């Protein structure tokens, strides 16, 4: 469905029947990570709405908007098979009609990490996600923890703007060798794909060292060295941050997240792991 009037009618009829609604926003090229969101959404609400919209406002001019994989037919079949009640597929003109002039910008949690590496990215995300929330009016919306900073931004925005819905994070789905599932993994050559498993390994090693009381700076430096050795570069960041505010941490004093972004060839990969301080 791609026009707002039909979407509103369909949502209205779910509401008339007293049904709760979960929204899974995506940019398509669906994989098992997205399907885990759909499965969790089915547990959380009576009807699941998925959206597919490759949002131009969250890509910088030098990024992969044009190359971003588009597989709408296969995606629609996967969603139907999984029991998704409705697919919302707006086009760019429907999402951003002529004269569109609003920007949603969240500060604080966007200060570092991808907020610094991809200026404007989270404004694009917050703006489109606000629109999706207003269009679908879900009770709960689900996002993957692989995009951990994005999840933090959307949580902050939903609280700050009294959006009245639950924002739920779902753990990252991984390949057997640990690589986080991502639509962008499709860009990797077989050699790059093999080398990319160094990313979850480096994060895992650093997370274990830090959780075991090791020096944070030393663990991060080791992780950088092992990523470089595997062929990653440039490394945008590998950083220990507060799990909620995303403020950088030099020691493990509170629940934390270890986050990384690095390039393997032309593919930018991100990943993160939780770290809890011992009692």
Annotated binding site for (R)-pantoate: 58, 150
Contact criterion met (CB below 8 Å) for 157 and 124: no
Q: Which of residues 208-267 bind ligand PAF (CB under 6 A)?
A: none
Q: How far is the CB of 51 from ligand PAF (least distance, A)?
A: 7
Which has the closest alpha carbon to 238: 255, 251, 222, 254? 222
Among 26, 239, 241, 272, interactor with ligand PAF by CB under 6 A: 26
Quick one: tokens of 154? 């959307």
What is Dmax (Cα atoms) for the chain? 58
Query: What's the Cα-to-Cα distance from 84 to each of 10, 79, 160, 187, 192, rounded to whole Å?
Result: 13, 5, 29, 27, 34
Question: Rounded to an integer, what distance in angstroms lies between the CA atom of residue 57 and that of residue 48?
Answer: 25
Please identify, using beta-carbon distances, which residue of 183 and 241 lies nearer to ligand PAF: 183
Contact flag: residue 95 with ligand PAF (CB under 6 A): no
Strand partners, 79: none
In 18-102, which ranges are continuous DSSP H helix? 32-44, 72-81, 92-95
Question: Which residues participate in the annotated binding site for ATP?
Answer: 27-34, 144-147, 181-184
Among 40, 55, 158, 238, interactor with ligand PAF by CB under 6 A: 55
Q: Which residue has the tokens 């599932």?
A: 181
Contact criterion met (CB below 8 Å) for 255 and 276: yes
Among 25, 34, 54, 131, which one carries the catalytic annotation?
34
Please identify, using beta-carbon distances, which residue of 26 and 241 lies nearer to ligand PAF: 26
Question: Which residues participate in the annotated binding site?
Answer: 27-34, 58, 144-147, 150, 181-184
- Among 25-33, 100-108, 173-181, 240-248, which window interacts with ligand PAF (CB under 6 A)? 25-33
Contact flag: residue 85 with ligand PAF (CB under 6 A): no
Per the annotation, the verdict on 34 as an active-site residue is yes
Contact flag: residue 153 with ligand PAF (CB under 6 A): no
Among 41, 129, 152, 211, interactor with ligand PAF by CB under 6 A: 129
Contact flag: residue 58 with ligand PAF (CB under 6 A): yes
Please identify, using beta-carbon distances, which residue of 39 and 194 lies nearer to ligand PAF: 39
Contacts of 159 (CB under 8 A, 6+ apart): none
Cα torsion for 29, 73, 52, 64, to the nearest 10°?
A: 40
Contact flag: residue 172 with ligand PAF (CB under 6 A): no
Q: How far is the CB of 160 from ligand PAF (least distance, A)?
A: 17
Contact residues for ligand PAF, defined by CB under 6 A = 25-27, 55, 58, 125, 128-129, 147, 150
Catalytic residue ranges: 34
């Amino acid at each position: 469905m791609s026009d707002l009037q039909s979407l509103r009618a369909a949502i209205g009829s779910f509401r008339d029947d007293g049904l709760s609604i979960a929204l899974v926003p995506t940019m398509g090229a669906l994989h098992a990570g997205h399907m885990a969101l759909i499965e969790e959404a089915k547990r959380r609400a009576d009807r699941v709405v998925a959206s597919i919209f490759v949002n131009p406002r969250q890509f910088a001019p030098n990024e992969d908007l044009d190359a971003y994989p588009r597989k709408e037919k296969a995606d629609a079949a996967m969603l139907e098979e999984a029991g998704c009640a409705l697919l919302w597929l707006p086009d760019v003109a429907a999402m951003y009609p002529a004269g569109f002039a609003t920007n949603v910008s969240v500060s604080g949690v966007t200060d570092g990490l991808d907020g610094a590496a991809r200026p404007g990215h989270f404004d694009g995300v917050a703006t489109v996600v606000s629109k999706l929330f207003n269009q679908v009016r879900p009770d709960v919306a689900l996002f993957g923890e692989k995009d951990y900073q994005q999840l933090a931004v959307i949580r902050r925005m939903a609280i700050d703007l009294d959006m009245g819905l639950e924002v739920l994070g779902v753990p990252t789905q991984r390949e057997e060798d640990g690589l986080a599932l991502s639509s962008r993994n499709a860009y990797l050559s077989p050699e790059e794909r093999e080398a990319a498993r160094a990313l979850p390994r480096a994060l895992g090693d650093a997370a274990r060292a830090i959780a075991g009381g090791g020096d944070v700076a030393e663990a991060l430096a080791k992780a950088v060295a092992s990523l470089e050795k595997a062929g990653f570069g440039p490394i945008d960041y590998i950083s220990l941050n507060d799990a909620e505010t995303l403020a950088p941490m030099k020691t493990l004093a509170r629940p934390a997240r270890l986050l990384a972004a690095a390039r393997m060839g032309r593919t930018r990969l991100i990943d993160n792991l939780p770290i809890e301080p011992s009692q």
